[in-house]
Amino acid sequence: MDRGLVSVIMPSWNTAGYIMESVESVLNQTYQNWELIIVDDASTDGTVDLLKQVDDPRVKVFVNEQNSGAAVTRNRAMREAKGDWIAFLDSDDLWSPTKLEKQLEFMVEHDYVFSYHDFEKIDEASKPIGIRVSGPDVVTKHKMYNYGYPGCLTFMYKASAFGVIQIKDIKKNNDYAILLQLCKKASCYRLPENLAQYRIRTVSISHDKLSKKLRSHYDLFHMCDEKPALIAFWFACWNMFYGVLKKIRYENQI
């Protein structure tokens, strides 16, 4: 059943070793009414040359004139999107073939405008490492400020309910910045199915030191969400605490 056009937002930067597998996971979707908006942030490893080989008019590739960062790149992709629904997939992560079909069915059936689902972790060679990540059944605004539970590769929203989302230029946590804008208008509902694979890489934000993580969360709440400095620092500390609880409660061996 056609439930409208889905715009898939994919920023890319030097992911030549992974991006074609990510694109293939979109091409293999059982739900076929989608457009894939790829904005490359001036890659230097041949990523764009690989993308030129994709022969499908639904895959639309844009290239920044100069390296501008993930936030600017995501913003451009969201401005280019024409879909009734907006979904996200980073250029090294993967979707299961039924991801769009099942998530759209879930949202339309329950009249939800904002949802997410579970995912599993894989290694750099795309092999599962036996960890499934879930979250609360309903992520309210309050819970979203505690922690950004929906993984970037899992959440989807109805475009007409939120308009064109644009975020401020912060280096990290720009996907969380999107979530904070969305949660002010609607709660996010969980589809309890594993429909995506998140790639753990040796060079990633998840390997940052505690001090750098705290700073990036402070920047998120202070610069993007415009909270006063002390309140932003409180939210950043609170968020780190809930990050520990999330790993205990919502990351399980499979």
Per residue in 106-137, pLDDT (tens digit) is 999 999 999 999 999 999 999 999 999 999 99
Across-strand partners of 63? Answer: 40
Contact 41, 70 (CB under 8 A): yes
CATH 3.90.550.10 given to domain 6-205 = yes
The answer to pTM > 0.75 is yes
Could you tell me the pLDDT band of residue 210, with boundaries at 50, 70 and 90?
A: confident
Rounded to whole angstroms, how far apart are CA atoms 196 and 24?
13
Q: How many CA atoms lie within 13 A of 55 on its CB side?
A: 0
Could you tell me the pLDDT band of residue 209, with boundaries at 50, 70 and 90?
A: confident
Nearest to 90 by CA among 3, 198, 1: 198
Quote the pLDDT of residue 205. Answer: 44
Q: What is the pLDDT of residues 20-37, one digit of tens each?
A: 999 999 999 999 999 999
| H-assigned helices in the chain | 19-27, 47-51, 70-80, 99-110, 141-146, 159-162, 174-183, 210-219, 229-250
Could you tell me the pLDDT band of residue 202, with boundaries at 50, 70 and 90?
A: confident
Quote the pLDDT of residue 206. Answer: 46
- Which tokens hold the place of 97? 């073939």
Quote the pLDDT of residue 200. Answer: 95
When the pLDDT of each residue in the chain is averaged and rounded to a whole number, the result is: 95
Residue type (1 letter), 254: I
Could you tell me the pLDDT band of residue 192, with boundaries at 50, 70 and 90?
A: very high
